Chains A and B, each alone.
Chain A
Amino acid sequence: GDSVTQMEGPVTLSEEAFLTINCTYTATGYPSLFWYVQYPGEGLQLLLKATKADDKGSNKGFEATYRKETTSFHLEKGSVQVSDSAVYFCALSASNTGNQFYFGTGTSLTVIP
C-alpha cells in the first residue's frame, strides 16, 4: 500500500546551517506530496506541497521538489533559524486510496543559537 518513509530525528542544527530532511514514498498512483509542520504547542500547518512530478513547493525559505524517478520529496532550507524548531511531517495523498493522507513519523528539528 501507499506509505511515506521519513528521515528519523531528532535533528539539531546551529542557526544558519543548511537543512535537509529526507522523505521517500511508495504509491501505486500519482500522489500529491505535502510537508506539514507542527510548532511546539500548536496544530499541524501546511508548509508546502507539490501535485505532480518535477513540481517544486516552496514557503518560508523551505523547498521540496517532487522527484518521481527517485520517489522522493526531500525538504531543504538554506539557512535555518531558531524559529524553525518544530516537528516536520511528510505526507502523500492519492486519489486511488480515497485521498486519505499517509504521513511519515515526523522529524523533530531543534535549531540552537
Chain B
Amino acid sequence: GAGVSQSPSNKVTEKGKDVELRCDPISGHTALYWYRQSLGQGLEFLIYFQGNSAPDKSGLPSDRFSAERTGGSVSTLTIQRTQQEDSAVYLCASSLGTGEKETQYFGPGTRLLVL
C-alpha cells in the first residue's frame, strides 16, 4: 500500500479483556516497530522486528504485552487482561531496513481506551 495502515483506528474495551491491534507495513519494508504514545508523554518504544531475526522485545512494559509478525509483513500487538493504564495511542512504523539512517514511516495509530 501507499503507507503504513493500522486497525482498528479506535478501540474501547473493558478492563480485563484482551485486545489485538494490527499493523500493515509498507510493502518491501523489512523492519517494523511498535510504539506507545500516552497522553502528555512522548513515544515509548515497545518492540521491533527485522526480517527473520528474533524481535527486540526490550520495550514491552509487562508480560501482558506480546507481538508477532507473520510472513515478514503484517504484525499484531496483543495486550492481555487490559488495564486502564494501557489506554494510549499505539503507533506502528516501518522502514526499509534497520540502518541508523533509515527513516521510519508511521501509521495513523490505534487509539485504545480501557474502561
Instruction: List the interface of chain A (C-beta within 8 A of B).
Output: 6, 31-32, 34, 36, 42-46, 49, 51, 89, 91, 93-95, 98-106
Contact = CB atoms under 8 A, between A and B. Distances in A.
A43 B59 contact: no
Interface of B: 4, 31, 33, 35, 41-43, 45, 48, 56, 58-59, 91, 93, 98-109
Contacts of A36: 106
A31 B100 contact: yes
Which of A6, A44, A89, A103 has the largest count of B CB atoms less than 10 A from its CB? A44
Given A43-B106, A44-B91, A46-B105, A95 B45 contact: no
7 contacts: A31-B100, A43-B106, A45-B106, A49-B103, A99-B102, A100-B45, A106-B42
Contact of A100 (B4, B42, B48): B48
Contact of B104 (A95, A101, A104, A106): A101
A44 B3 CA distance: 12
A101 B56 contact: no
Closest 5 CB pairs of A and B: A105-B42, A44-B106, A103-B43, A99-B98, A43-B108
A89 B48 contact: no
A51 B108 contact: no
Contact of B56 (A45, A91, A100, A105): A100
B43 to A, nearest CB: 4
Nearest to A32: B100
A102 B100 contact: no
A98 to B, nearest CB: 5
B105 A101 contact: no
Nearest to B46: A100
Contacts of A98: 48, 56, 58, 98
A96 B4 CA distance: 26
B109 A43 contact: yes
